[in-house]
Amino acid sequence: MSLTLYAHPFSSYCQKVLVALYENEFEFEYRTLEDPSAMAELKARWPFARFPVLVDDGQTVVESTIIIEHLMLRHGGRVRWLPEDPQAALEVRFLDRFFDNDVMTAMQKPVFAAIKQDAARKDEAMVEASRALDLAYGWLEQRLHGRTWAAGENLSLADCAAAPSLFYADWVHAIADAYPLLRAYRSRLLAWPAFARAVDEARPFRHYFPLGAPDRD
């Protein structure tokens, strides 16, 4: 098995894949995109220049969810990210999409506006993000009743997505005390060794966060 990951430690979607690799203790070459030559190599394989990108014995695999499923199908591992039961797997895939589309996408709106230095749009995007994230937080609070992890008692693909999504979303719009189950779940994710490792690796790049990284986590 020869795995190479093109990724940036501070990227949420890269962290999503990193936790899957770390949890299953896969050996891989980490081509950090802080290195311009790594970005050039990535673009040669994926001209859209989105990351992460995995190269598995010469095969290029893109999109974080697909990368995690590819690793599971091709290489197994002690943690199976999707249940064998098709209906249970469908719920996990749905939650994976929810965290990417309804949490991460909402969080990114003011971040992108700040990167573009569009003050008016940033303020507008903050209002939009706060409204969307409160809706997501409320829905998740109900969903987490009786659950340790996103889809039940076992780690899954959904938790790989949830960890960076909730990590950064809370920086943009804090999870209120009104959502104790969600706050506790986020704390469990931060204590998950695979994600804690990804968070620590990203610490040197916190100054990249255009809204200002909080002095916590």
pLDDT tens digits for range 146-172: 999 999 999 999 999 999 999 999 999
Q: Does pLDDT of 1 surpass 80?
A: no
Q: Which pLDDT score, from 0 to 100, does residue 119 have?
A: 78
pLDDT tens digits for range 63-77: 999 999 999 999 999
Average pLDDT (31-57) is: 98
Average pLDDT (112-124) is: 87
Q: Which pLDDT score, from 0 to 100, does residue 120 have?
A: 79
What CATH number has the domain bearing residue 122? Answer: 1.20.1050.10
Yes or no: say if 90 and 37 are a contact pair by the CB < 8 Å rule. no
Tally of domains within the chain: 1
Amino acid at 127: V
Average pLDDT (27-50) is: 98
Q: Which pLDDT score, from 0 to 100, does residue 64 have?
A: 98
- Picking from 149, 201, 217, the residue whose alpha carbon sits closest to that of residue 22 is 201
The pLDDT confidence band at residue 3, using thresholds 50, 70 and 90, is very high
The pLDDT confidence band at residue 89, using thresholds 50, 70 and 90, is very high
Q: Does pLDDT of 56 surpass 90?
A: yes
Residue showing tokens 């895939």: 93
Q: Does pLDDT of 118 surpass 90?
A: no
Confidence (pTM): 0.96
Q: Is residue 121 part of a domain?
A: yes
Q: Is residue 50 part of a domain?
A: no
Q: Tell me which residue range forms the domain holding 182.
A: 86-192
